[in-house]
């Protein structure tokens, strides 16, 4: 694989799940020295949190796993469907929203990140309304398993 491939991680708000997925993917790419082959970004289906940093529980979960994250939330735009190779949603609702937004000339392959989970947990549930950080830790583990398997399958 010579040219760089682009992956976009998407969830509803881009402040909980997709920043974790992006951070984990970026971390793995750096660990494996694959920066020339893969770039990753993340975005929201909804516009509620544009410009904001991730939820503090997402940042803490990443930090405790050695991941520094500084991107801010943005919304998915039409051009993303032409410029990215893979667009991953976290749950079925993300997928139906993305499919509804996709233009006719969509280049990206749209799918669930969890489809790559070797443990078969396909849905990465929304932890935003949880009281604690357990859902964020679980999201991290799911993202780690799926991103690891995805990179193994595509290298």
Q: Which residue has the tokens 């410029």?
A: 83
**Catalytic residue check, 106:** no
Using CB under 6 A, which of the segments 10-18, 21-29, 59-67, 74-82 binds ligand 4NP?
A: 10-18
Residue 136 Cα to chain centre, angstroms: 13
| Residue 82 and residue 50 in contact, taking contact as beta carbons nearer than 8 Å | no
Q: Tell me if 62 contacts ligand 4NP by CB under 6 A.
A: no
The residues that bridge with 11 in the sheet, in sequence order, are 44
The single residue among 8, 9, 11, 67 that binds ligand 4NP, judged by CB under 6 A, is 11
By CB under 6 A, what part of segment 127-146 binds ligand 4NP?
Answer: 128
**Distances in whole angstroms, Cα of residue 59 to Cα of each of 15, 122, 149:** 9, 23, 23
Angle at 88 between CA 84 and CA 89, to 5 degrees: 135
Q: Please give the size of the binding site for ligand 4NP, defined by CB under 6 A.
A: 10
Please count the other Cβ atoms lying within 10 Å of the Cβ belonging to residue 79: 9
Based on the shown chain and the rule CB under 6 A, indicate whether residue 13 belongs to the binding site for ligand 4NP.
yes
Q: Which of 126, 135, 136, 140 binds ligand 4NP (CB under 6 A)?
A: 126
By CB under 6 A, tell whether 57 contacts ligand 4NP: no
The span from the CA of 43 to the CA of 22, in Å, is 10
Catalytic residue status for 126: yes
Marked catalytic residue, from 55, 117, 126, 139:
126
Q: Is 43 in the site for ligand 4NP (CB under 6 A)?
A: no
Q: Which residues bind ligand 4NP (CB under 6 A)?
A: 11-17, 48, 126, 128
Active site residues: 11, 17, 126
């Amino acid at each position: 694989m010579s040219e760089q491939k682009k992956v976009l991680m998407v969830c509803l708000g881009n402040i909980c799940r997709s920043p974790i997925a992006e951070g984990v993917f970026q971390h793995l790419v750096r660990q494996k020295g694959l920066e020339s082959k893969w770039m990753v970004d993340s975005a929201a289906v909804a516009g509620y949190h544009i410009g904001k940093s991730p939820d503090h529980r997402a940042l803490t979960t990443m930090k405790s796993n050695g991941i520094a994250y500084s991107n801010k939330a943005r919304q998915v735009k039409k051009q993303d469907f032409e410029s990215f190779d893979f667009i991953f949603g976290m749950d079925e609702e993300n997928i139906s929203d993305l499919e509804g937004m996709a233009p006719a000339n969509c280049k990206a392959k749209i799918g669930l990140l969890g489809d790559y989970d070797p443990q078969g947990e396909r849905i990465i549930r929304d932890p935003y309304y949880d009281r604690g950080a357990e859902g964020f830790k679980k999201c991290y583990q799911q993202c780690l398993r799926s991103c690891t398997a995805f990179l193994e399958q595509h290298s």
